[in-house]
Amino acid sequence: MSTDSKPPKHDSGKIGFDRRTALKGGAAMLGMAALAKAIAPITEWTSDMSVDEFLQKHYKELKPGELQTVLARLEREAVEDHGVDVSINDYRPKEGVKFGYALNLSICIGCRKCAEACHIENNHDRETNQSYIRVFEMEKGGIDFEKGDANYNHPVPQKDKFYMPVQCQQCENPPCVHVCPVEATWKEQDGIVVVDYNWCIGCRYCEAACPYHARRFNWKKPEIPSQDINPDQGYLSNRVRPAGVMEKCTFCLHRTRKGKLPACLEACPTGARVFGNLLDPESEIRWVLENKRVFVLKEELGTKPQFFYFFDE
């Protein structure tokens, strides 16, 4: 709308340079002042944001030099925000590697050690006890999540129950990636679905699309005591996320792309978890796929998970 407050007289003389116009002008000024006051919190919020951060390009468009600048800036911000020296690296997928994960439901006891390890490894918000893994206590006799409970808090394992940890299934055909309007999430060559936390607009369409409740939104900035921050961080994985963006399990790519086992596997006291390279015929994961009767969650949806479940008996 035009901001000119002096309409000419041509309009049937209804509007003129009279007291009414002055009043209207005053009201407009008042309105603008009220608006400025109303949206003041945004000014405060933007003062925290650097121009570089605002204009940062998509991960895939960053040239190596630019990426180094971004990583350096993020490391600097970690010092400013948390007072800790962290190392944020860009870990790339390796040729000939495609990750797969299998979980033995016969020996999982539901101790949530995996969820806890994830919580610590991936710099999750402490107050909400966030984790990429949700463990369900299920009734024996079927895989019916309607009879499952993720909030149990009693000694495990219970006799008539079995336990089903669920995390990102790193689908071969990931609905979350398809729906993202800005390509802020994508599947990498080694099968890991990642999020560029500095590109995501926070529309949460992926969270609606995921059939496995694998995605999490940062309803606020994660709060972690400085001394508890895991300083070994990946740009696409466990660096402390900004508020208002999506995050998800990355099979600990900052570990696994260096050849290490994911944190949830190391924490498992029963050895229910098997991780490895699906393209290596000698790998443990391949042995499981070839010798156990494995299944995937919600196979009928055609998402082709790379996370497998199996029973011993």
Partner 1 sequence: MSVIADEGGFTRKVTSYPRFLLHSFGQATSGSPLFYAWMTLLTALALVGANAWANQVANGMQITNMTDHVSWGLYIANFTFFVGLAAGGVMMVIPAYLYHDEDMHDMTIVGELLAIASIIVCLLFVTVDLGRPDRFWHLFPFIGRFNFPISMLTWDVIVLNGYLLLNMHICGYLLYIRFLRQKPNPTWYKPFVFVSIVWAISIHTITAFLYCGLGGRPLWNSAVLAPRFLASAFVSGPAFILITFHVLEKLAGLRFGEGARRTLLNIIRVTCLLNIFLLLCELFTEFYSGGSHTASARYLFFGLHGHNSLVPWIWSAVLLNVAAAVMFLLPQATRNRSFLTAACLMTFAGIWIEKGMGLIVPGFIPSTLHEVVEYLPSVTEWKITVGIWAFGLMVYTLILKIAVSVLADRGTTGDPPGT
Partner 2 sequence: MRRKTAFQITGIVSLSLLTGVLSQAIGTSQQSTEPANKPKEAIQRFPVHTRSPGPSPAIETGFTTGSGEPVTADCSTCHATRTNAVPVRSAAELESFHLGLNFEHGQLVCASCHDPGNNEELRLADGTHTPWANAMQLCAQCHGPQARDYENGSHGGMTGYWDTTLGPRTRNSCVQCHDPHSPAFPQMYPAPPPRDRHISIRSQNASDHNERHSE
312 binds, among partner 1, partner 2, none (CB under 5 to 8 A by kind): partner 2
Q: Which of 78, 111, 180, 184 binds partner 2 (CB under 8 A)?
A: 111
93 binds, among partner 1, partner 2, none (CB under 5 to 8 A by kind): none
Q: 201: Cβ–Cβ under 8 A, 6 or more apart, which residues?
A: 181, 182, 184
* Binding map of partner 2 across residues 265-294, x = CB under 8 A, - = no contact: xx-xxxx-xxxxx-xxxxxx--xx--xx--
Q: Which of 209, 261, 297, 301 binds partner 2 (CB under 8 A)?
A: 261
Which structure tokens are listed for 186?
Answer: 């994508």
The smaller minimum CB distance to partner 1, of residues 11 and 282, is found at 11
Nearest to 249 by CA among 299, 185, 295: 185
Q: Is the dihedral of CA 150, 156, 159, 162 positive or negative?
A: positive
Q: Which of 19, 41, 160, 259 binds partner 1 (CB under 8 A)?
A: 41
R_g of the chain computed on alpha carbons: 26
d(CA 263, CA 106): 21
Cβ of residue 214: shortest distance to partner 1, in angstroms? Answer: 9
* DSSP one-letter string for 221-258: -----GGG---EEETTTTSPPPTT-EEE--TTHHHHTT
Q: Which of 46, 153, 227, 291 binds partner 1 (CB under 8 A)?
A: 46
Using CB under 8 A, which residues numbered 12 to 31 contact partner 2? none
Do the bridges between strand 87-89 and strand 232-234 make them parallel or antiparallel, or are there none, so unpaired? parallel
265 binds, among partner 2, partner 1, none (CB under 5 to 8 A by kind): partner 2
Q: 203: Cβ–Cβ under 8 A, 6 or more apart, which residues?
A: 181
Q: Does 153 bind partner 2 (CB under 8 A)?
A: yes
Beta bridge partners of 162: 138
d(CA 112, CA 221): 24
296 binds, among partner 2, partner 1, none (CB under 5 to 8 A by kind): none
Q: Which of 39, 151, 181, 300 binds partner 2 (CB under 8 A)?
A: 151
Q: 46: Cβ–Cβ under 8 A, 6 or more apart, which residues?
A: none
* Binding map of partner 1 across residues 217-256, x = CB under 8 A, - = no contact: xxxxx--------------------xxxxx----------
Q: What angle do CA 78, 237, 138 make, to 5 degrees?
A: 125
Nearest to 191 by CA among 285, 127, 103, 82: 285
Cβ of residue 213: shortest distance to partner 1, in angstroms? Answer: 5
Stretch that binds partner 2, among 30-38, 41-49, 126-134, 140-148 (CB under 8 A): 126-134
Number of residues that bind partner 2 (CB under 8 A): 62
- CA 294 to chain centroid, in Å, comes to 27
Number of residues that bind partner 1 (CB under 8 A): 73
The arrangement of strands across the sheet holding 99-104 comes to 273-277, 99-104, 307-310, 294-295
Which stretches of the chain bind partner 2, using CB under 8 A? Answer: 61, 95-96, 98, 102, 104, 107, 109-113, 115-116, 127-131, 134-135, 149-157, 172-173, 189, 191, 219, 256, 258-261, 265-266, 268-271, 273-277, 279-284, 287-288, 291-292, 312
